[in-house]
């Protein structure tokens, strides 16, 4: 599968633009991709989103890659990977921006309509081990930082970075699925262990 993370100028794919994209080939995790692009002409800029991703309009305006070129390069990279199932945290936004972008620029869509959500897997891990999950705004509070802490990693500091977030999500997937690390850069953080093995949910005999 391909673990992805994107940053945008806001959360509306009709009026906002992709500005960065990162991807990790989960089966071969040293195979990564990171791209930044200037915002799509005419797209809007959300200051609240800017606080999260840390990019400035001045920095992005100097980039040579366009949103279309970013998508083309990502799709070409992904087509070389046998298992192109997309995965990540808060995948609804990422999938929507990717799909809208493919339609906007008439690009061939290299994926199916299936995706794997990190939040769901973390929720199952909490459930099987009777861990309490706090609610925020009426939904389970399991952001990427919460999941990182749950599996033994530290929370992020500062603005979000798509490549760091994609790597963190991939590492979390490995720890949640197999109770083992994936990337060397996280090897100093011990893998959290739980009372019940995750194979409860994935066993063919269940």
Residues sharing a CB contact under 8 Å with residue 204, sequence separation 6 or more, in sequence order: none
| Cβ atoms 164, 20 nearer than 8 A | no
pLDDT of residue 19: 97
121 and 25 within one domain: no
Cα 76 to Cα 107: distance, rounded to the nearest angstrom? 11
pLDDT > 60? residue 8: yes
| Cβ atoms 38, 69 nearer than 8 A | no
50 and 33 within one domain: yes
Residues sharing a CB contact under 8 Å with residue 136, sequence separation 6 or more, in sequence order: none
Of 115, 143, 169, the domain-final residue: 115
pLDDT digit string (tens) for 91-111? 999 999 999 999 999 999 999
Where b means 16+ CB within 10 Å and e means fewer, 52-84 reads ebebeeeebeebeebbbebbbebbebbeebeeb
99 and 28 within one domain: yes
151 and 84 within one domain: no
pLDDT of residue 205: 42
Higher pLDDT, 194 or 189: 189
pLDDT digit string (tens) for 113-160? 889 999 999 998 888 877 777 777 777 778 999 999 999 999 988 778
User: Which residue segment(s) compose the domain that 102 sits in?
Assistant: 2-115
140 and 77 within one domain: no
Of 70, 85, 115, the domain-final residue: 115
- Burial grade of 88 (CB within 10 A; 0-12, 13-18, 19 or more): buried
Cα 124 to Cα 115: distance, rounded to the nearest angstrom? 16
Q: What are phi and psi of 182, to 5 degrees?
A: -125, -45
pLDDT digit string (tens) for 56-95? 999 999 999 999 999 999 999 999 999 999 999 989 999 9
Token pair 């992904």 is found at 78
10 and 98 within one domain: yes
pLDDT digit string (tens) for 14-47? 999 999 999 999 999 999 999 999 999 999 999 8
91 and 167 within one domain: no
Q: Please state the domain count of the chain.
A: 2
Cα 6 to Cα 1: distance, rounded to the nearest angstrom? 16
143 and 75 within one domain: no
Of 64, 99, 115, the domain-final residue: 115
Query: Mean pLDDT in the chain?
Result: 90
93 and 173 within one domain: no
Report pTM. Answer: 0.90
Residue-wise DSSP of 58-90: HHHHT----HHHHHHHHHHHHTT-S---EEESS
| Cβ atoms 44, 15 nearer than 8 A | yes
């Amino acid at each position: 599968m391909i673990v992805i993370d994107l940053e945008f100028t806001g959360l509306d794919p009709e009026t906002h633009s992709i500005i960065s994209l990162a991807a990790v080939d989960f089966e071969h995790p040293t195979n990564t991709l990171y791209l930044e692009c200037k915002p799509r002409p005419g797209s809007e800029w959300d200051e609240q989103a800017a606080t999260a991703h840390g990019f400035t309009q001045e920095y992005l305006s100097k980039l040579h890659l366009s949103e279309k070129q970013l998508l083309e390069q990502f799709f070409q990279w992904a087509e070389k990977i046998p298992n192109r199932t997309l995965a990540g945290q808060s995948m609804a936004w990422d999938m929507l921006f990717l799909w809208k972008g493919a339609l906007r620029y008439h690009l061939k869509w290299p994926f199916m309509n299936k995706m794997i959500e990190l939040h769901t897997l973390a929720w199952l891990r909490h459930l099987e081990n009777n861990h309490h999950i706090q609610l925020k705004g009426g939904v389970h509070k399991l952001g990427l930082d919460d999941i990182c802490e749950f599996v033994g990693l530290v929370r992020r500091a500062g603005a979000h970075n798509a490549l760091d977030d994609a790597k963190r999500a991939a590492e979390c997937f490995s720890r949640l699925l197999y109770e083992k690390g994936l990337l060397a850069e996280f090897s100093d953080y011990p893998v959290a262990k739980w009372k019940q093995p995750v194979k409860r949910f994935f066993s063919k005999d269940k």
